[in-house]
Amino acid sequence: MSSSFDFSAVKLLSFDVFGTLISVRDSSYDAFERILQEASGTDVDVKAFWEHWEEKNIEGYWEPYRPYRDICKASLDSAFKAFELQGDPESIQHYFDSFRNFTLYDDVAPTLAELKKKYRLAVVSNIDDDLLAQTPLMRELGEVFPWFARRKKHAATSRTAACFVIFWKMQALASKVSSIRVSPKVP
């Protein structure tokens, strides 16, 4: 199959952090078990609760800018209501405290080390800088990423547009190269 895509033109690769480089679901279930325990919700399935919370987070990303902490707290309040629990949204701090224990997917470090030989690498994230800094990605591999883009106040529109452009370009690239997988989780 011939490809008209010029791979030599690629100078920069950017990566989302959560779910792409860091296993956020598995890494945060313990924190959500503590949150549920404090809300007398030990009979609630932590994974179902987390998924509802994450769905509300994603909805929050498409609204006018709010800090990640605020989105997470509002999403936790929504999850408590949906599961009929009397919980304190401030208990989301357990989740933030767990960032230092998040795990990278097994292939992340060697893959990034190899890619760094040929490309500039950057991360794109909507989480607060101080929270990102606590993750093993930035603690252990921060020097790999000279550029760090994040969602900033009044930049939601350009971020959304950039995500769609990046996704579209990756889809086009993936259609040409069978070894690249693109997960179409763009709302």
Give the domain CATH number at 162.
Answer: 3.40.50.1000
Residue 172's pLDDT is: 45
Which uninterrupted H or E stretch holds 71?
helix 68-82
Q: How far apart are CA 47 and CA 186, in angstroms?
A: 21
Is 2 within a domain?
no
- For residues 50 and 142, membership in a common domain is answered with no
Q: For 109-136, write each residue's pLDDT tens digit.
A: 888 888 888 888 888 788 888 888 888 8
Structural domains in the chain (count)? 2
Q: Does the predicted model carry a pTM greater than 0.85?
A: no
CB 129 within 8 Å of CB 150 = yes
Is 169 within a domain?
yes
* Whether the predicted pLDDT of 37 surpasses 90: yes
Q: How far apart are CA 73 and CA 89, in angstroms?
A: 5
